[in-house]
Chain A
Amino acid sequence: MTTAISVKNISKQYKIGAAQQKFQYNMFRDVLVDTLMTPVRIYRALTGRGMRGTAATSLIWALKDVSFDLEEGRVLGIVGRNGAGKSTLLKILSRVTEPTEGTVTVRGRVGSLLEVGTGFHPELTGRENIYMNGAILGMKGTEIDRNFDEIVDFSEVGQFIDTPVKRYSSGMYLRLAFAVAAHLEPEILVVDEVLAVGDAEFQRKCLGKMGDVAQQGRTVLFVSHNMSAILRLTQEAIVLKKGQLLKRAPTPEAVDFYLSSGQAESGERIWEADEVPANSAPFKPIALRLKDKTGKVVDTVRSTESVTVEWEYQLNAPVTGLRVGMYLSTMRGEYVFTAFDTDDAKQYEQFGARQSGRYISRCEIPADFFNEGRYSLGVNASSFGVRRYFMDENALSFNVDISGAPGTQWPEIRQGPIRPRLDWKIEKVD
């Protein structure tokens, strides 16, 4: 067996803070100071020194000293929670970004499914976009010609192939985009969370396609939060945590390790000291939990039952005008709602100014709210128009089980993120 990928001591450092800092000020004083500092900034920018060395910048290691070899024709699963470095690893392998340290040797072309729809232009027709996207993914014109019919078939857009894609439904758009990427013929295929997109039928098709690829003896790297897909499709898996490779083992063993070591999505997110940026003080997040009716922490929510979200945090100094809240979004990135604990005017009067201490902001999302699927919960603590203390767009994700929800007698996918139980009245008028 020859080695397809050889990763040696890869590390990747990111600068955080500097970029975020930029958007944080909205006080006049900050803007003024910032403006006066302009000459200094320009000097730094042009000498390539960036914002390095200033207190605003903190460096994090997205990957630290990761090494592994992968033989040709193997399918490797990569698991780890958000921010563990999975995507960074894939980005380095597909040469989008450079490692800070270490080397990678890759034998063959790397194609990746994290670039689904990249370069699609809404004004171009489906046909034109296939060629465009193919070229971007590194396919030759002849290669696209050869696969063209197959791509169209796979995408199921058929008769709309000469319609500009801006007229497509989001499902059609996605299917077409995926079809192109799936027909790329790379020696190494990198797949990142395709399962988060598309309807169930399409996801099944994608997994099937991946299985085919693996059977043809190509090398596949598969990142997913979906443990059953990882178990089904991969023989071996690596577990990443905070940029480090914790374990490499046959998949069942690795998944077991991942789930039992408490880093899986468990319905609870605990912030450790090093995960909280210094500039969020005096606000300090402690934990975010998702609880069912009985008060048990859950990672799967039943659509027919209410669920309680609670966020525990510490204020190290009194804060005025504080609002603590959440964004709820689907895994496709559509927002479902945004809500804050002081949305209610009376609440705001009472709790707008908060003394230092430890708090829990808790709310209940009613039953008959969620549709089937995976959702992401983001959190935000801010004082409107003054400052944003802390934000994590994807603090926690959870699944929704819809058994017993309205309409489940029909085994079909219902569109939209919510699944309310509406009070239908049917009357015969004639």
Chain B
Amino acid sequence: MTELTKHEPTTIYIKPTKGLAALNLGDLWRYRELIYFMIWRDVKVRYKQTMLGAAWAIIQPVLTMIVFTFLFGRIAKLPTDGNVPYPIFSYTALLPWGLFVAALNQASRSLTSNQNMVTKIYFPRLVLPLASILSGLVDFVIAFVILIGMMVYYKITPSFNAIWALPLFLLLTIITALGVALWLSAINVQYRDVNYALPFMTQFWLFITPVAYSSNLISERWQLVYSLNPMAGVVNGFRWALLGVGNGPDTSLWISASVSLLLLISGLFYFRNMEKTFADTI
């Protein structure tokens, strides 16, 4: 502490929030450095004191792919789209799916596992779920390297669409995960039931997402309902962009994207309104 900072200090007004809380996203920008450090911490400690370290980011999707290939590819003989070999067909879907599940798991617990921060210091609480979701991207990138290797092996060249489409679908994954996680993490502050419900939820969600199978197996009249699941849009999008199979962006994608935006916006409002009680009820 050398000398008193000379700049004019900002004045803060503290009063009870009445009615619907404003989203105040500007606050999030002021705390961007904290978001960065939280991501950095999450990444840094994730595989500490594990033998295999970051290899887990690869092992998990690869092993799942092997199991899926055996069960659904060999035994159940589920058809893929456009004769794409089953392993790469499922792995392409497992990447965004893995990111989504990890994000949900981490983010839903982010408030309760950082309880001492929440009860002791002020910062926009949104930082916690947001940072834990973004830190999952590192695992995604690592697992993606394997996908590139597989594409070389199977001699599949992605279309140029991948360049713009992949980041977009990735964004859609993150928005969906954030939307759901905002609801869950805020509820988790008061009701730890979320911890028990979450595994069921993700398992169920996996069934209604075309990870192990092709969405073409869903009959025509159910397609619209099916696309209410944003992750269905994401998985189809990944396959379309990387493997060149299935449909490009169409109405069902717009439905997926709208649902996911709706989740995000409602999640933000719910979170912001519960935020003021976090320190008291956690």
The answer to the question of A233 belonging to the interface, with a C-beta cut-off of 8 Å to chain B, is no
Contact A185 B45 (CB under 8 A): no
Tally A residues with Cβ within 8 Å of B.
Answer: 53
The answer to the question of A20 belonging to the interface, with a C-beta cut-off of 8 Å to chain B, is no
Closest B residue to A13 by beta carbon equals B280
Kindly identify which residue among A91, A106, A140 contacts B11, using a CB–CB cutoff of 8 Å: A106
Kindly identify which residue among B5, B13, B49, B280 contacts A123, using a CB–CB cutoff of 8 Å: B49
Sort chain B's interface into a size bin. 35 or more
The interface bits of chain A over 247-259 (1 if a CB of B lies within 8 angstroms of the residue's CB, else 0) are 0000000000000
Contact B16 A185 (CB under 8 A): no
Contact B119 A95 (CB under 8 A): no
Contact A94 B122 (CB under 8 A): yes
Q: In the complex, which residues of chain A have a beta carbon less than 8 angstroms from the beta carbon of B119?
A: 96
CB distance from B178 to the nearest CB of A (A): 20
Q: In the complex, which residues of chain A have a beta carbon less than 8 angstroms from the beta carbon of B191?
A: 45
Q: In the complex, which residues of chain A have a beta carbon less than 8 angstroms from the beta carbon of B276?
A: 97-98
The answer to the question of A138 belonging to the interface, with a C-beta cut-off of 8 Å to chain B, is yes
- How many Å lie between the Cα of A286 and that of B116 in the bound state? 34
Contact B9 A107 (CB under 8 A): yes
The answer to the question of B114 belonging to the interface, with a C-beta cut-off of 8 Å to chain A, is yes
Which among A114-122, A220-228, A305-313 touches the partner chain?
Answer: A114-122
Question: Most A CB atoms within 10 A — which of B48, B114, B120?
Answer: B120
Contact A98 B120 (CB under 8 A): no
Q: In the complex, which residues of chain A have a beta carbon less than 8 angstroms from the beta carbon of B1?
A: 147, 182-183, 185, 212-213, 216
Contact A135 B34 (CB under 8 A): yes
**Knowing that A95-B14, A97-B279, A118-B120 are A-B contacts, what are 12 other residue pairs whose CB atoms are under 8 Å apart, sorted by A's residue number?**
A107-B10, A109-B10, A110-B122, A114-B120, A123-B44, A123-B45, A124-B41, A135-B34, A136-B117, A187-B4, A187-B5, A216-B3
Interface residues of B (CB under 8 A from A): 1, 3-5, 9-17, 31, 33-34, 36-38, 40-41, 44-45, 48-49, 114, 116-123, 187, 190-191, 273, 276, 279-281
What are 23 A-B interface contacts by the 8 Å CB criterion? A14-B280, A50-B190, A92-B14, A95-B12, A95-B14, A98-B14, A98-B17, A105-B12, A106-B11, A107-B10, A107-B11, A109-B9, A109-B10, A115-B120, A119-B116, A123-B45, A124-B45, A135-B34, A135-B37, A136-B117, A182-B1, A212-B1, A216-B1
